[in-house]
Amino acid sequence: MKRFSLFVAVLLAAACQSEAPDLQLNDLGYFERQGVNVLVFSNPFSGGFNDEKNSGIEIIHHGVRTVQGGAVRLNVTPEQWDLVPTMTSRVVDTLAQTIEVGMRFNWYDFDSRVVVEPKGKAVEISVWLDKPVPEVLAGEAGFNLEFLPSQYWNKAYLVDGKPNRFPRYAVSDTKVRPNAEKVRQFKGYRTYDDRGTGEFIEPLPLSEGHEFLLAPDDPERMVKVTSGSEIRLYDGRMLAQNGWYVLRTVLPAGQTGKVVSWTVEPNAVPGWIREPNVGFSQMGYVPDQPKVAVIELDKKDKVQAKASVWKVEADGSEREAFSGPVKVWGDFFKYNYAKFDFTKLSEPGVYFLKYGDVRTGNFIIDPSVYDKITVATSDVWIPVHMNHMAVHEAYRLWHGEPFKEGYLQAPPSTDHFDLHGQGPTTDTRFKALELIPGLNVGGYFDAGDFDIETGSNISVVMNLITLWERFRSERDETFVSEEQRYVELHRPDGVPDILQYIEHGVLNLVAQAEQIGHMAQTLSNSVLDNYHHLGDAAGITDGLHYDPRLKPYQKSADGKSSGTPDDMWAFTSRNPGLDLQAATMFAAASRVLADRNPGLAQRALKQSIRLDEEATKLMAADTTGRFRRRNQGNSFSTALQLYVSTKDPKYLEQFTAGVWPALERMPMGAIGAALDAIPYLDDDYKEKLRPYVEKYRDYILSLEEQNPYGVPIGLGNWAGGGQVTGFGTTVCNAHRHFPDIVGKEHIYKAPAWLFGCHPYHNYSWVAAVGAARPKQVFYGNNRADFSFIPGNMAPGLLFRQPDHFENYDDWPFLWGQNEGTIAGNTGYLIFGETFRNTLLE
C-alpha cells in the first residue's frame, strides 16, 4: 500500500512537472511562468541616490521581489554610493526570445553587455565584452546577483552539494586593502571612515563553488545557480546594514566575447496561486460609514461568490454576523480585484472577515475608532525628530543632543551627495569652513537622515501653524525645555505641544535668517561616512570643533576641538524663492507665537519683512529668469497667508489675481488651496468656486474607474502616501464647504487606504496605528533594528516597472516605500485632524 501511494505520487509529480510551462518572454518585456518573473533592466540603475536595490536583473518569486541587482558591478558587495552602470541600450528580441542590455561605467570607459535567454525553466545569463576589462578593474569587475536577506536568512543552501545555512546576522570574515586600490565611489566621496589606517574593508566570501542551490528547504524561495566559472557568495550586510546576499563571478582579465555564463533556475511551486490579499481598515469603521473590503487576487484565482463578517462575542465565541456577494471589479496591473460591501453591518463590536480560506485579523466597529489616529505622530514621531535636543521616553533615550559643535560654512563649489550643492560663492560674510554661530538650535531631522532641510522645515512650521489655527489642539503630552535642551515624552508641562513644536522649528529658521542673512538650503553632513549614520544622532559628529591644525582623531589639550573633519556644513547659496517661503512662514509664526514667546515672534516678523523686501528685489533684478520660473507655483497661496497675517488688501488682490488662472491651468492641483481660502473671503468667492468643486467631484469619481481603491495611486520612485493624505484633506474640505456636491461617502477612501485597504498586504501604513496589524518595519533612523518610530506614515505602495507594486514589511531599507519625512508626517497630522473634525460635523 505504502509503495503504491509513493508510486502514484511520483507519477503525479512527473505529470505536473511536464505540464508546467517553461519561462517565456511576455508582452510586458519580461520572462514569466506561474510563480516566477525574471525582469531584465525593466528598472535601470538611476544614479540619483545610486544603488537603491531596485534595479538590474530582478526576480519576483511567488509574488515577492527577492532578487535584484543583476549586473556587472565593481565591488564584491556594492553599497548605495558605489558606482552603478548606465544602461546604454536594451533590446527585447521577441523572435529570439532574448533581452540584451548594454552597460557602461563612464568613469572607467568600461562597456559590457548582458544577454538573458530562457532555457526551459531556467534563464541563461551571459556577460559579453567587446574589449577586455580595463586593467585597473581586473579582479574588481564581476557579474553580481543579489538576494533579499530577510527572505533567505536561517534557510539552508548547498554549494556543490555541501550544506550550509544563510547567517541571520552579518558575521562573516573580512580583509582590509589599501585605499589606493578602492574603486571610485559616488562623486569621489567615501562611504567609510578608515580611522587613519589608510585601508578599506572588503568582505570575504561565505562560500565558493560552481553550483549553488539556495533554500532547498523553502520551495517558494529555492533557486539553483550554476556556472562553469567559480561563483562566490558574500554577505553585503558586512559593510552596510542595507546590503543583500551577493552571488558573484569575477570577470576574467584579458578576455573578450562571452566571458561569464550562469544558468539561473528559480523553482516554481506546481499550481501555485497567490493567496488573496483582503484589504480592510485596520482602524475599523464608524457605524454609519461605507464598509468595503477590496480583495486582491491572482489572475488565475477563481473569485468566490460570497464573503462574510464574523463577530467575536464577549465570551470569546465567534458567529457569522453578515454574509454578502463578492463583486468583480476587474484587472489593475498584475492582479484581479473584487469588492465585498458590508456597509449594512453597523452594530459596535469586534469583527473579522472570511473570504475563502482567508481569515483576517480583527477590527472594531464603533463611533470612537478614529479618535486617536494622530496621537502617535504628535506625541512620539514629531518630538523624536527634534534636533539639538536630548529626547527621553520613560526609561529610554531616543537620542542625545546632536551637533554641539555647530555648523561650518560649506566651501564654494561643493557638489553634495544629498541633492544639494554649494554654488561658486558662499553668498555670506563667512569664509569656507568658518563657524557660523548660533545655528545649533531648534529644527527637525529631515526624515530617515539627520539634516535640516530648510524647505521641509518651513513646510513643517506652516503645517503646524495650520493645525493650530484650524483645530486649536491644546494637547499637552510633551515636556519641551529649550533651555535644558531636553524633551520628555508623555510628561505634560502646561504648554500645548503644537505651540512648542512651532517654536522649535522657528528657532532654527530664524537663526538661519539672522546669522546667514538669508535661508540656507540645508544644514547637512560634510562627509558621506556619517550621512548614512544609524542610531543615536548625538554620535554623528564628535561634538568638538574641527581644527585642521590637529591630526584627524586628535583632541586639543583643552578638550574643545579635534582634528576630525566631521562638523556639519551649512549650504548657503541664496535662493530668493526659499526666502519668500520663509517670509510667509515667519509672518504666520509671528501671529501664532505672539503670546507664547513675544521675543521670538518679533524676531520672526522682522525677518519676514526683510526677507520679503530683499527677495522681491532680487527676483525683480534677476535677468536669467531662473528664480521666477522656479517659484511660480505657490504665489497665490503665499498671498493668502500674507493677507491672513497682515490683512493688507494688496495681498487679497494678489490672491484673486492668481487663484482663478491656477484653477484653470491645474484644477486638481489648485483646488485644495482655493478651498482653504473660503473662511477668509466673501460668499461671492465661494459661489464662483462651485464649478471647480464640481470638476473635482468628477475627478473623485474618475478615480473609482482608474483603480479599485478610488484614491490616487502614485507610480513614482517615491511611493504616493503624501498624495493620498493630500487627497484625503481636500476631499474632506470640499465636502465640508460643498456637501451637496461632494458627498460624505468619499471622505472614507483615504483613511481606508492608509489603514490597510490597499494592494500587496493589508497592514496599516502608519506605524503603531491600526488594530490587528500595523506595518512592523520602517525606514526611520532606527531601521538597523528592524523597527519603527510610532506615528510614522510610510510612503507605502512602491511601483516597479512594468507591473509590480510592493511594500516590504520584513525589510525596512527601501526609502521609496518605508521612509517617513517631517513634512509628510505633519501633512498626515493635517489630514487626520481634518478627517476627525469632518466626522464630528
Closer residue to Ca ion (CB): 529 or 542? 542
Q: How far is the CB of 546 from Ca ion (least distance, A)?
A: 5
> Which span sits near Ca ion by CB under 5 A: 391-399, 474-482, 623-631, 697-705?
474-482
**Considering the complex, what minimum distance in angstroms separates the CB of residue 405 from Ca ion?**
5
Identify whether the C-beta of residue 152 lies closer than 8 Å to the C-beta of residue 215.
yes
Which residues lie closer than 8 Å to 263 by C-beta, 6 or more apart? 119, 122, 123, 124, 125, 224, 225, 226, 227
Binding segment for Ca ion (CB under 5 A), chosen from 8-16, 276-284, 441-449, 482-490, is 441-449
Between helix 822-840 and helix 721-737 the angle, nearest 10°, is: 30
Is the separation of the CB atoms in 109 and 217 below 8 Å? no
Q: Would you say 186 and 81 are in contact if contact means Cβ atoms under 8 Å apart?
A: yes
Residue in the shown chain whose Cβ atom is closest to Ca ion: 446
Task: Find all residues with CB under 8 Å of 180, minimum gap 6, and list them.
Answer: none
440 belongs to the binding site for Ca ion (CB under 5 A): no
List CB contacts of 15: < 8 A, sequence separation 6 or more. none
Report residue 197 as a C-alpha cell.
589606517
Which part of the chain contacts Ca ion (CB under 5 A), choosing from 33-41, 104-112, 447-455, 775-783? 447-455
Residue 567 binds Ca ion, judged by CB under 5 A = yes
Q: What type of residue is 767?
A: A
Stretch that binds Ca ion, among 5-13, 128-136, 449-457, 652-660 (CB under 5 A): 449-457
82 interacts with Ca ion by CB under 5 A:
no
3-state secondary structure of 3: helix
x-or-dash string of contact with Ca ion, 370-409, rule CB under 5 A: -----------------------------------x----
C-alpha cell at 15: 505529470
Q: How far apart are CA 537 and CA 516, in angstroms?
A: 24
Q: What's the min distance (Å) between Cβ of 440 and Ca ion? A: 11
Task: Please state, in angstroms and rounded to a whole number, the distance separating the CA atoms of residues 347 and 102.
Answer: 61
Torsion (CA) 282, 286, 289, 294 in degrees, nearest 10: 10
Stretch that binds Ca ion, among 161-169, 186-194, 224-232, 542-550 (CB under 5 A): 542-550
Q: Residue 463 CB, nearest distance to Ca ion (Å)?
A: 17
Q: Which cell goes with 387?
A: 534636533
Please select the residue that binds Ca ion; options are 275, 529, 542, 704, rule is CB under 5 A: 542
227, 459, 478, 654: which one contacts Ca ion (CB under 5 A)? Answer: 478
Q: Helix %, strand %, coil % for the chain, to 5?
A: 30, 25, 40
| One-letter amino acid for residue 674 of the chain | A
Instruction: Return the range that interacts with Ca ion (CB under 5 A); candidates 196-204, 335-343, 451-459, 721-729.
Output: 451-459
The residue from 446, 482, 503, 806 that contacts Ca ion (CB under 5 A) is 446
The minimum distance between CB 240 and Ca ion, in angstroms, equals 18
CB of 541 to Ca ion, least distance (A): 4
Binding Ca ion by CB under 5 A: which of 495, 594, 668, 741? 495
Per-residue cell: 212? 549553488
Q: Is 476 in the site for Ca ion (CB under 5 A)?
A: yes
Report the residue number, 240 or 544, with the smaller CB distance to Ca ion.
544
Q: Of the candidates 772, 758, 770, which has an alpha carbon nearest to the alpha carbon of residue 807?
A: 758
Query: By CB under 5 A, is residue 566 in contact with Ca ion?
Result: yes
Residue 111 makes contact with Ca ion by CB under 5 A: no
Site for Ca ion in 646-665 (CB under 5 A): none
Q: Does 449 bind Ca ion (CB under 5 A)?
A: yes
Window contacting Ca ion (CB under 5 A); options: 199-207, 407-415, 423-431, 537-545: 537-545
Calculate the dihedral angle through the C-alpha atoms of 183, 187, 188, 192, rounding to the nearest 10 degrees.
-80
Phi, psi of 104 (to 5 degrees): -140, 135
Q: How far is the CB of 273 from Ca ion (least distance, A)?
A: 42
Nearest to 821 by CA among 530, 450, 521: 450
Listed ranges 256-264, 564-572, 609-617, 803-811: which one lies at the site for Ca ion (CB under 5 A): 564-572
Q: Does residue 193 belong to the site contacting Ca ion (CB under 5 A)?
A: no
Alpha helices in 622-720 (DSSP H): 626-630, 635-646, 649-665, 667-676, 683-706
Enumerate binding residues for Ca ion (CB under 5 A). Answer: 405, 418, 446, 449, 451, 476, 478, 493, 495, 497, 541-542, 544, 566-567
